[in-house]
Amino acid sequence: MKTISTLSSLIFLLVLASCSKDPEVIDEKPIKSTPITVTAAKSQDIEIKLESVGIIKTLTEPVISAETEARIEAIHVDVGSKVKKGDLLLELDDSRIIRNRNALKAEVKNLNVQIHNAQKIVQRYKTLHQKNLAPISLLEEEETKLVVFKMRRERAQALLEMAKDNLQRAKVKSPVDGIIDQRMVSVGDFLKLDEPLFKLSTNNALRAIAAFPETAVEQLQVGQKMFIRYPLSKLHLVESPITKIRPMINAGNKSIVVIVDFANPGIFKPGASFIAEVVIEQHKNAVIVPNRSVVIRPAGEVVYVIKDNKATQHIVRTGERLGNEIEIVAGLEKGSIIAFDGAGFLTDGTLVDIKEK
């Protein structure tokens, strides 16, 4: 019994000592803050664009054809040759043309002599008739001969001019600056009139053709500016207004075709593909933030505004995506300091520790 009493006394003393401990020395856990970096919501004008892929074509593709009949004697260009307006492309055998020209020259000369003689005879018969020494029928007969000679000379002169033209056409020259795209003949071929010889393409005046989804039909119109660039280039190499929009929707791929005619700055080639961008809207003074600053919460898309080392949740409505940035249509003012790195770890009211980027 004595042992139990002693044990009870010991337990009582321990409890008493515990209750007498100073409450001020009890440890408290510090409140933690979340490390983040911050950035400012900026304001800028942005353009909303539709993008597509298209093809470049030339506006000028002349086909050079034979303008006279003869055999080809020499060809001076081939596919891929660059030519200037007036450059000699092809020569025809002109010996037959020269013989024909010379014969016509002789005929015209002979007719001139006949006309000169006929005029003298007509004048003599006029004089005789006035003196009643020759009947009127003889005068009329000689006048008729004179008319026939003149008609024959007129025809011969016309044929002579044609022969001279054919002699010039025997040397085929380029009508424009360009590149030989096709050669349809060879040396030794006998050409018929209007037979095609060469097809040229020019790089000066070009046409850009691009197809956009039919859903964009209400957003596209003639006169809107379209930017044209090569697929691997980030630079807008050409800016030109839309020339025309084809009225029909393509039944195969449900697209609308946009056409832009433009002067080549010297960098585009017919047949090349390009990236087309058409500006359909302009937003003035749009609020822009990094994509990483916008996070998804049960309330929707939010941005955390930082003030006095505390994060305040702002529900926002986003607009256009601009690469690594996004437009804020509502819910945030420009210049607001917002969370950047670490935004995804925040909740409304979280204390933050702002770090340098």
Could you tell me the CA-to-CA distances from 294 to 34, 91, 331 in Å, in that order?
Answer: 17, 72, 12
Query: Domain range for residue 182?
Result: 62-87+174-201
CATH number at residue 76: 2.40.50.100
pLDDT exceeding 70 applies to what percent of the chain? 91
Q: Report how many domains make up the chain.
A: 4
Q: How far apart are the first and last CA of the chain?
A: 75
Mean pLDDT of 175-187: 91
- 75, 191: one domain: yes
> Minimum mean pLDDT among 61-75, 111-125, 220-234, 287-301: which range?
220-234
Query: How many helical (H) and strand (E) elements, i.e. helices and strands, does the chain have?
Result: 3, 24
Write down the mean pLDDT value for the chain. Answer: 87
The reply to whether 299 falls in a domain is yes
Burial of 109 (0-12, 13-18, 19+ CB in 10 A): exposed
CATH number at residue 273: 2.40.30.170
pLDDT of residue 21: 45
- Other C-beta atoms lying within 10 Å of the C-beta of residue 292: 17
Q: Say which residues have a Cβ less than 8 Å from residue 244's Cβ, sequence separation at least 6.
A: 222, 259
pLDDT of residue 236: 66
- 185, 77: one domain: yes
The reply to whether 22 falls in a domain is no
Chain mean position to CA 341? 41
- 278, 288: one domain: no
The reply to whether 245 falls in a domain is yes
- 344, 222: one domain: no
Query: Pairing mode, if any, of strands 34-36 and 352-354?
Result: parallel
- 184, 71: one domain: yes
Select from 253, 283, 313 the last residue of a domain: 283
- Res. 72: pLDDT tops 60: yes
CATH number at residue 162: 1.10.287
The reply to whether 12 falls in a domain is no
Mean pLDDT of 177-185: 91
Mean pLDDT of 47-67: 89
- Res. 271: pLDDT tops 80: yes
